[in-house]
A and B are shown apart, each in its own frame.
Chain A
């Protein structure tokens, strides 16, 4: 049995009485534990919809997603978003008034795992993302690549099993983008975390071990 099983996933958005959009029309594929894969597709292919569903942000779908043998609908939504998945966004989505450390620790502030050695984890993550000397900097004092590293650190702080990266290089130049993909590759190896990278950029996708292509809401 695969670690993640996506079975006949469908998502229809009802825009009005007569207008609806089928963003996903029956996506099915499996992902093995610790796999580093990418989902590619053009605009409107259903990538973001798939990511929102996998990220536990959208629960209005049909079909099934099984993670580690359990349908994700059986999880508490908040628990799923805190401890099962960690999400990285294209626009980084850092809190502008919080510094690097505080941004990374933000999910921990909402989690119920108190008393764990969070400082040790923070130090490890800061070292891994290479921002130990920028820990007190605010997002506006960071470059795009550094900001995305902070977002990666934030996604990892609660040790999720799956990391979802939504166009993580979309706002970066190619060199910086490459370094981010390399970082994701490293954390995939070191943290043994499953990484699902969503991108429209084939070159970036080719750096992953497997590519899932979406066309008009279906995987081909």
Chain B
């Protein structure tokens, strides 16, 4: 029976191929979604894990100043109206006392500045500046190019993206001037706060970091000076009292991370972001996106299955006499049904295998380009994007066969119910 069904499929090659094409397209779409999204998730997590240690926790006020809202630098007026836990020296001291905490590093974030290389009129496109008191070769930054240096008040570390943007070598940029200019057009500064406008801060490049992010680092003391001045605060004490640190990086012992996180949230009332939280968030996000895309893919599979139904019905009309013959010589309704289901399943299989093969080929071709593109965008830990997973390939192939069979059910039933006498007379 299988050979006979195969014969029916191969007898009209062009039509079989055209019908399979629908499945091929659906499979390509589904494969790119399933493989692509899994690979994207892996890429993000790989990159994320290369930058963030699982034992690190990021503490900020309940207002999540640490990540999203850090783009909007605090002002005195705004801060006075808010009631929240301030991540200040008091909180820092309390955290340092928690069992399992190895170290606590205060951080400030500055935004809304244009960053210029001395003597150059074009600003660097990213203006996000971090402040941390760490030696230059600390792994927190990434890989430090050059000797260990302590960041001075007038010093700045830059990522290796900066010299490449200004088209000069790493050696040439060391010792050069970096100017931060406050600019209302690049920030979310309230119109009432004019202190931030037209101020300039000069720094000397002290070190370069080979990192995945394109950032600038200055020391916390200088950062605080700038924040006080641009925010309209009286002095540093007033700033730390009202605003506090942008974030605290809490380094923990390996098996105490969760415990420390829970304590800080429950007892100190601060907001804590752990590497695990972010990984979970990324996984949820990509999974949700995958489901949405799979729905789109399924719609294309539905369209393909309509194509198969159409072809199979046409096939019944063409093979009516033949169905009559095989029934006359003893084929049962069930056998006719099975022959047609095998036929439609084979169409699904052909479409699936061709789709997988084409997708696999495209993945191999596109992989180096994608990796280059991602590395240019800062995903430096990515060495390969697409990972062909045989298990997924098997699922996709089985899925294609299933779509073919499901699409073939109605035509197969129609064929099985044909009256052999009428079928034999059919012209």
Quote the shortest CB–CB distance from A161 to chain B (angstroms). 14
Query: Which of B321, B324, B330 is close to A78, meaning CB atoms less than 8 Å apart?
Result: B330
Is B325 engaged at the interface, CB distance under 8 Å to the other chain?
yes
Is A200 engaged at the interface, CB distance under 8 Å to the other chain?
no
Is A58 engaged at the interface, CB distance under 8 Å to the other chain?
yes
Cβ of B4: which chain A residues have Cβ within 8 Å of it? 95, 98, 106, 109
Known: A89-B424, A98-B7. A111 touches B325 (CB 8 A): no
Query: Using a CB-CB cutoff of 8 Å, which residues 75-91 of chain A contact chain B?
Result: 78, 81-83, 86-87, 89
B7 touches A93 (CB 8 A): no
Known: A57-B420, A57-B421. A110 touches B11 (CB 8 A): no
Cβ of A109: which chain B residues have Cβ within 8 Å of it? 1, 3-4
Quote the shortest CB–CB distance from B331 to chain A (angstroms). 4
Chain B residue at smallest Cβ distance from A93: B325
Is B332 engaged at the interface, CB distance under 8 Å to the other chain?
yes
Cβ of B331: which chain A residues have Cβ within 8 Å of it? 78, 110
Is A149 engaged at the interface, CB distance under 8 Å to the other chain?
no
Is A55 engaged at the interface, CB distance under 8 Å to the other chain?
yes
Task: Kindly state the separation between the CA atoms of A100 and B111 in the bound complex, as whole angstroms.
Answer: 84
Known: A93-B321, A98-B7. A110 touches B329 (CB 8 A): yes
Chain A count of residues within 8 A CB distance of the other chain: 23
Cβ of A82: which chain B residues have Cβ within 8 Å of it? 329-330
Per-residue CB proximity of A58-76 to B under 8 Å, as 1/0? Answer: 1000000000000000000
Is A154 engaged at the interface, CB distance under 8 Å to the other chain?
yes
Task: Kindly state the separation between the CA atoms of A55 and B327 in the bound complex, as whole angstroms.
Answer: 11
B335 touches A97 (CB 8 A): no
Chain B residue at smallest Cβ distance from A87: B328
A-B contact count (CB 8 A): 57
Cβ of A52: which chain B residues have Cβ within 8 Å of it? 421
Chain B residue at smallest Cβ distance from A78: B332
Is B291 engaged at the interface, CB distance under 8 Å to the other chain?
no
Quote the shortest CB–CB distance from B117 to chain A (angstroms). 75
Is B326 engaged at the interface, CB distance under 8 Å to the other chain?
yes
Known: A89-B424, A93-B321, A109-B1. A57 touches B7 (CB 8 A): no
A106 touches B326 (CB 8 A): yes
A158 touches B421 (CB 8 A): no
Query: Using a CB-CB cutoff of 8 Å, which residues 180-227 of chain B contact chain A?
Result: none
Quote the shortest CB–CB distance from A115 to chain B (angstroms). 17
Q: Which of A89, A109, A158 has the most CB of B within 10 A?
A: A109
Contact sample, A vs B, 23 pairs, CB 8 Å cutoff:
A55-B328, A57-B327, A57-B328, A78-B331, A81-B328, A81-B330, A82-B329, A87-B328, A89-B325, A89-B328, A93-B321, A93-B424, A95-B326, A97-B7, A106-B326, A107-B329, A107-B330, A109-B1, A109-B3, A109-B4, A110-B1, A110-B332, A158-B330
Footprint of A on B, CB under 8 Å?
1, 3-4, 7, 11, 321-322, 324-332, 335, 420-421, 424
| Additional pairs, 11, CB under 8 Å, beyond known A78-B332, A110-B329, A110-B331 | A57-B421, A78-B330, A83-B330, A87-B329, A89-B325, A95-B322, A95-B326, A97-B11, A109-B3, A110-B332, A110-B335
